Structures are given as C-alpha cells and as structure tokens.
Structure 1
Amino acid sequence: MLNIYFSAEDLGRVRLAAAPDPAWETLLSLHALGGSPDHIVFGPWRATALDRLDPSTSLLRRLSPPRGYSPDFLTPGVGTTLESTVDAVMSVGRTRLRSELALLPARRHTASWTRRLAQGEPETLRLLGGAIRRYHQRVLGRPWHRIRAVIEGERALRARDLLDGGVERLLSNIHPLARWEPPVLRVDYPVRQDLALNGRGLLLIPSYFCWGRPITLRDGELNPVLVYPANRSLQLLTEDAATPQPAALGRLLGRTRAAVLEEIAVSNGTTGGELARRLGISAASVSEHTATMRDANLIVSQRVTNTVWHTLSPLGRALLEGRPDDESHPMTRARVVARQA
C-alpha cells in the first residue's frame, strides 16, 4: 500500500502536469517493451517499436526492467521537453548514481557499463543521454501526438472534477486503485510505502504508458509525484494510413533532410550545432538543409544572442504526423522541398 499524507497546505498545492512527461513515457514504454506481445494496448505498438530500436537501447533496458525498481534519476521531473530531461539525467551526481544503481538486481548493477555509470564517468553519461534521445526519436517521436492527445483528454476530465468538486473530487477520481480517505490518498501498491508531503504539494502526471496502477518515486525526499494511467479508453498507437513512414519521408525530402526535420521535432527546438553533433553531419550541411526547410515553411528559425534556434512550424509538424495543415495539405508544399533536395 502507498499512503500519501496531505496537509491543508498540500491540498492547495496539488497540480496536474501540463503535457506528457518525456522521461516517464520513456521509462514506462521501456517497461512495456519487456511485457507481453499480446498486450491489449501495447502489443501492436511493441511489434513496431522493436523494429525501430538501435543498439543503444540495450543500455536503457538494463536500467529499466519490466518489473521491480528502476532508478529515480531516469525520471528527473524537470519539465516536458526531451532536452531538459536528457540534460538533467546527464547531470546526476556520482553519489546519487551509485546509491540508486545499487538497488538494481546484482546482474544489472554489476555490469561493466553500469559500474562506469555509477562512477559518474562523463563519457558514459553522454552515452546514456544519447540513448534516451535516440530512443525517444525512433520509438516515441512519431506517435507522440497521439500520446499527447490522450493526456490532453485526461487533463480535461480531471479539470472538470476540480471545477465541479474541488481537489478532493480530483483525488477521488484519479484511479480505481486510489482511495481518498482524508487526509490520506491510499493506492494499492506492491510494497508498503509512506509519503509525507510536508507542504510540498503533489504533481499528478497522467501517462499513456503507465499501466495497472499509479506509481511514484522510491525516494520520498524528491519532489513528490504520482504517475497514473491516462489511457482510460484504451487507445492504440497504431499508424494512420496517411502517416508518412520513415523510409517514405526520406524519399520525399531526402534522407538527411528528413533526419534533420525529425530531430528538430523530437527536441522541441534545437540549434544547428546540436543538429550537426547528433546527426554526424557538417555544420554547412545543417545550414543548407535548415535554410531550405525554412523557405518551405517547415521550420521556424530564430536568433537568440549568437545562436539560431530551429523549431517546427505547424506545417512541419503536420507533415511528420501525416495530417492536413490548417492552410493546406503538407504534402503539397513539401514537394517544393523535394524538388530542391
């Protein structure tokens, strides 16, 4: 049983995450990868996801077994962007790394790569950050708009609870396995855990890949969160027929240009230097591709001091998600890019 103890001050500090949390969706989707291929919701997604993995995913899977403990540092709770998540994970201190990794089963925390991570080796931390970024790009980036839609629907329901009955109705309806018994929220849990909020409030994080029951961090000294299943209608992450597949998008835009566009999408905005580093291409090549996509209104580039930031335009996002843009169908205007590739 998980018991979360509220004070009057804590009730006034209950918050609902504004968007899907990349860290939690990454971790919990890794759990789903290790689950049953016949899962009612995750089964079809799992079959597709396994084909998109690259070797770096094995590093993540060592840290996130489908059952039992996964280190808290993988879900730092720093916002809703992938880059903030990666930066936070790569900045974890050696003491915390060592203590949390020691809680993994022996066969996992004694592996050579995990030992180097526990020592806080910079290169190993960079490998971990890169693995998170690539996994999110290859596996979660394409269906992210569907994940986001599920979370937005759940937020709308909980907002109605809050408006109609206050925070106590919100807590009462959060999940069938959670019971509000003032001043305690009790959640059916595989272990006994007590979490005293002590005036810190509670962040509720609806999650697509959370399944079965709400979960929280092991360390009660960290910022309190409760992650709970949001997919009440059991929506699948299957591809729409109109959604461009990676190979098709590469044929349309050119492989490198398609990779640049997808990297901008999963990063929620990035710089030319970062694009060059992540994709292993020259700065001149990045500049050429971003200029072409900017001219085609697929991205927006803004100068901040001495750095140019690239973000997706609505048309660029519509192209990646395979849906019509408000003004015109993205495939029509994308032909301009294809002719210039």
Structure 2
Amino acid sequence: MHRIHFTADDVARVRMAPTLGPMAETLFSLHALRGRTEEAVFGGWRRRVRGALDARSAVLSAIVPARLPSFDMAFLAGSGRDLAESAETFLASPRQAVRAELDFYAGHHGRVPTVLAGLVDAPTARREVLSTVQAYHHAAVAPHWTAMRAHLDAERARRGTILLDRGVDGLLSSLHPSIRWTPPTLHVHAGDQFDDDFTLGGRGLLLVPSFFLRAPGVMYDPGNPTDYILLYPATLDIDHAAGVWTAGTSTRALANLLGRTRAAVLTAIADGVATTGALARRLDVSSAAISQHTAVLREAGLIATRRHHSNVLHHPTQTGLALLDWHDTPRPIP
C-alpha cells in the first residue's frame, strides 16, 4: 500500500496531465503484453505484437520483469511530447539517477540483468536499450498512438469536469477502485510487496492517466523523493478499446473477397472488438446483421466463438489471421 499524505497546500496544488507521452506508454504497454488479463480489451493487440517480437525481447523482459518493480525507464525518459524528445532525455540522464533506479531494482530483485548493467557508465548500452524500445514502439504503439492520445485527452477532460462539479475530494475519490481518499491521506493499493508513506510537503501531486497500466502506481525518484506522480488507469472498456484498435483501419484489401461489411467485421474482430454488440456499434449495423456475418465467418473457419459469462466473444482463427496477413505466434515476453 502506498499512502500519500496531503497538507492543505498539497490539495490546492493537485494537477492533471493527459499523458507522460508515447515513450512512457510504450514502456507501460509491456505490462499489458504479459499474460491474458483483460483479453477482451487487449487480446487482438497482444496477438499482433507477440508475433512481431524478436530475439531482442530479452531487453524488454529485463525492463519489465514478471514481478514488480520494473526498471523505471519512463521516469528517466521524462514526459516527452514525442519519442525523440524522451529518447534524448534518457540518453542524457545523470549517472546518479540511473544508478538510483538500478539500485532500487536490484533491492527488490536481488540483481541487475546483464543487459541493463551498463546503463550507468556506457553510452553504447543506453543506445542499444533505447533502440530496442524504439523498435518495439513502432510495432506496438505507434500505429495506435493518435487514437490513444485522443482517448487520454478525453479522460483528462472528464476528470476536469469532476473537479469542477465535485471539487478535489470528488476527483480523488473517483480515480480508481484501488485508490481510496480518506482526507488527508490517499491510499493506493499497488501490490503486497509495497508499503510506503509519501509526504508531499506542499508540492502537490500530478495525476496522469495511462492507457496501458491497469493498476495505479506512484512514480518518483528513489534517490531524491520530492516530486510525485500518481499514475492511474484511464477508463477503458471493450468499446473504448475498439475505437482505438480499429481507428484508421482499412478493409479494402478484403472487400472484393468477403464483401465490404464482412471484411470490416473480420478486421474488427482481429483488432479485439470481441462482442456482437460492440461490433454492431463500431460498424453501425444491426446486431442481427453482425450475427449473420459472424456465422458466415465462423463457418468458413475464419473466426471462433465462445461464451464468457454473459457475453459471446469472437476471436480470429489462424486462418483468419493469415488472410489478414497477421500472425499469432505465441511468443510472450519470457
């Protein structure tokens, strides 16, 4: 549990930002890439990204290991407007700041992985790690970044409305089920391995939503813990995710083969739009029409359908992915 202690000055200095930038979200996405939690939201994205990983994924595994904490490269890279700005900040990070992050990492994991060990003193090591992260960004995040940023901007605007209507108390009380506001302390459940008290000391708190992080956390410099950022999961459901994954997607290549609507249905399902209702809303056709199209796609072996609780979920088969020229090689981060 993280406990963040406020004074009256801190309450007056609560601020909101829409994002820490594409570099931070790229690094946060590595958490979402693991496992199969929230499959209806991230399943299609995971399939495509895992198929694109290569041998350099060992670097990504070192940055975000299976057990928290991760190596906080997002903190070192800062809140850049674009990937290039964050890359420059990371390369120029002071040695003591990098060492503090690695010491914090080693304190929880027992050691620093070899691929990260040279980051303090070797510029070449920083460039190699950065190159891997940039390549991963272009495969996993860049195609969707414009839609993600629009979603995060909308999240900030919604929180701003809550602030205007209900004040800081209402804002802090409504961020996430794992965040509890009992004035003057904000309790953030961030896993059993953490038990920390943070005193803001009049500097306030910056609230930042994340598209990929699905649990809240506190970002700070372990070598100089003075300024704190509270990262919290942006509101995200199947419909929200569908709007991001399918934004700008073209189905023209399949239209002549399957028909325009059926090609759009297959593409949307591969993009993670899993339910009949979500497909109907996304494509602006009736649920009955979607059921007819999915029946044809299922009979052709392009999708599979299963029931999950009260929902019927559609997933692309290997044949369907092959038709889209996508790959579902099960290559999760080690």
What is the TM-score normalised by the length of structure 2?
Answer: 0.65
Q: In the aligned structure 1, how far is the partner of 2:227 from the partner of 2:110?
A: 30
Q: In the aligned structure 2, how far is the partner of 1:106 from the partner of 1:153?
A: 37
Matched residue SS, 2:40: coil
Aligned residue in 2 for 1:240: 246
Aligned residue in 2 for 1:226: 230
Any conservation in 1 of the 2:45–2:245 contact (CA below 8 Å)?
no
Change beyond 3 A, Cα 1:18–1:28: closer
Matched residue SS, 2:190: coil
Q: Which amino acid aligns with 1:131?
A: T
**C-alpha distance after superposition, 1:179-229 (max 9, x if no partner):** 111111112232211111112211111011111x31112637153101111
Flag structure 2 segments of 5+ consecutive residues without an equivalent: 255-334
Aligned residue in 2 for 1:115: 117
Q: Is structure 2 residue 32 aligned with structure 1 residue 26?
A: no
Q: In the aligned structure 2, how far is the partner of 1:152 from the partner of 1:162?
A: 15
Q: Which amino acid aligns with 1:228?
A: Y
C-alpha displacement of 1:135: 1.8
**C-alpha distance after superposition, 1:42-74 (max 9, x if no partner):** 222110112233544432221111431112343
Structural mapping, 1:172-251, within 5 Å: 172-190=173-191, 191-211=194-214, 213-217=215-219, 219=222, 221=225, 223-234=227-238, 235-236=240-241, 239-240=245-246, 243=249
Matched residue SS, 1:71: coil
Q: In the aligned structure 1, how far is the partner of 2:53 from the partner of 2:245?
A: 17
Matched residue SS, 1:58: helix
Any conservation in 2 of the 1:177–1:187 contact (CA below 8 Å)?
yes
Aligned residue in 2 for 1:13: 13
Percentage of identical aligned residues: 35
Aligned residue in 1 for 2:285: none
C-alpha displacement of 1:140: 0.2
C-alpha displacement of 1:87: 1.5
Change beyond 3 A, Cα 1:91–1:244: farther
Matched residue SS, 1:114: helix
Structural mapping, 1:13-92, within 5 Å: 13-19=13-19, 21-36=21-36, 39-76=39-76, 77-92=78-93
C-alpha displacement of 1:30: 0.7
C-alpha displacement of 1:97: 2.4
Q: Is structure 2 residue 63 aligned with structure 1 residue 97?
A: no
Q: In the aligned structure 1, how far is the partner of 2:205 from the partner of 2:85?
A: 21
State the structure with bigger RCO (CA 8 A, min sep 6), 1 or 2.
2
Change beyond 3 A, Cα 1:231–1:56: farther
Matched residue SS, 2:119: helix
Any conservation in 2 of the 1:49–1:139 contact (CA below 8 Å)?
yes
C-alpha displacement of 1:27: 1.9
Number of aligned positions between the proteins:
244
Flag structure 1 segments of 5+ consecutive residues without an equivalent: 249-341
Any conservation in 1 of the 2:22–2:145 contact (CA below 8 Å)?
no
Any conservation in 1 of the 2:6–2:201 contact (CA below 8 Å)?
yes
Aligned residue in 2 for 1:255: none
Any conservation in 2 of the 1:23–1:75 contact (CA below 8 Å)?
no
